[in-house]
Amino acid sequence: MATHAFLLAAALLSLLCFHAIASDPSLLQDFCVVDKMSTVRVNGFPCKDAKDVVAEDFFFQGLDMAGNTTNKQGSAVTPVNVAQIAGLNTLGISLARIDYAPFGLNPPHTHPRGTEILTVLDGSLYVGFVTSNPDNKLIAKVLNKGDVFVFPEGLIHFQFNYGTKSAVALAALSSQNPGVITVANAVFGSKPSISDDVLAKAFQVDKQTIDRIQAQF
């Protein structure tokens, strides 16, 4: 009986230890402002001395200015993450402004390290995300000014301005550095290129079609 109790206790302790290792660690200080001069490489960024921290480390200016949407997609993303605000390091949050020209698109993409919650500030957007295999279900909705929509972490999603007026949205993300992978750019614009044989088979088209698509990236 004592042996069984010991084994049970050991198993529970193992589970607790695994959970502690698998979860993000809690912040052990007030903040960890990025030390941009450090040559140390860590998962994230090293901290600079707290006595050298200033208000500018937590400040960003210019989010009121519209991004330049004169591009093929007709959209512009202005990120505000740890690259722009050093004080976001270890805080697990960031945001972005997205501007859309009429019929502008923020193309299908994914954030591998963060969930996104998006609010429409002006205009209307058709938004959606696709669930993972095998269902690949499209969950989509038309949003108007003041509406909010959530894109779960890692899932492919998009926003499209189907209207004749410009639109603006503000997105918050659950990571200081959520990352972004634009599907078309990654698949057809990788360097070096993915083999025509691979892409032609994956998309069930001929190699000439793949070549024409790759030429756009």
pLDDT at 194 over 50: yes
Q: What is the pLDDT of residue 23?
A: 41
The predicted model scores a pTM of 0.83
- How far is it between the farthest Cα atoms of the chain? 75
- DSSP annotation of 50: G
Binding-site positions: 106, 109, 111, 116, 157
User: What angle in degrees, to the nearest 10, is found between the helix axes of 196-203 and 207-214?
Assistant: 110
Higher pLDDT, 123 or 47: 123
Reduced to 3 states, what is the DSSP secondary structure of residue 37? coil
112, two tokens: 């591998």
Higher pLDDT, 16 or 28: 28
Lowest-confidence region among 21-25, 48-52, 63-67:
21-25
Q: Does residue 159 contact residue 120 with C-beta atoms inside 8 Å?
A: no
Lowest-confidence region among 33-47, 55-69, 81-95:
33-47
DSSP H or E segment with residue 169: strand 167-173
Binding-site positions for oxalate: 106, 111, 116
| pLDDT level of residue 15 (50, 70, 90 thresholds) | very low
Binding-site positions for Mn(2+): 109, 111, 116, 157
Q: Does residue 171 contact residue 120 with C-beta atoms inside 8 Å?
A: no
The partner residues of 139 in beta bridges, in order of sequence, read: 129
| pLDDT level of residue 181 (50, 70, 90 thresholds) | very high
- Mean pLDDT, all residues of the chain: 89
Q: What is the pLDDT of residue 1?
A: 53
- DSSP annotation of 191: S
User: Domains in the chain, please, with CATH?
Assistant: 63-83+92-179 (2.60.120.10), 181-216 (no CATH)
| pLDDT level of residue 78 (50, 70, 90 thresholds) | very high
| pLDDT level of residue 130 (50, 70, 90 thresholds) | very high
- Tell me what the mean pLDDT of segment 23-50 comes to: 78
- Tell me what the mean pLDDT of segment 51-58 comes to: 94
Lowest-confidence region among 3-7, 54-58, 120-124, 209-213:
3-7
For residue 100, CA distances in Å to 8, 9, 160, 185 come to: 57, 57, 8, 19
pLDDT at 22 over 70: no
pLDDT at 147 over 50: yes
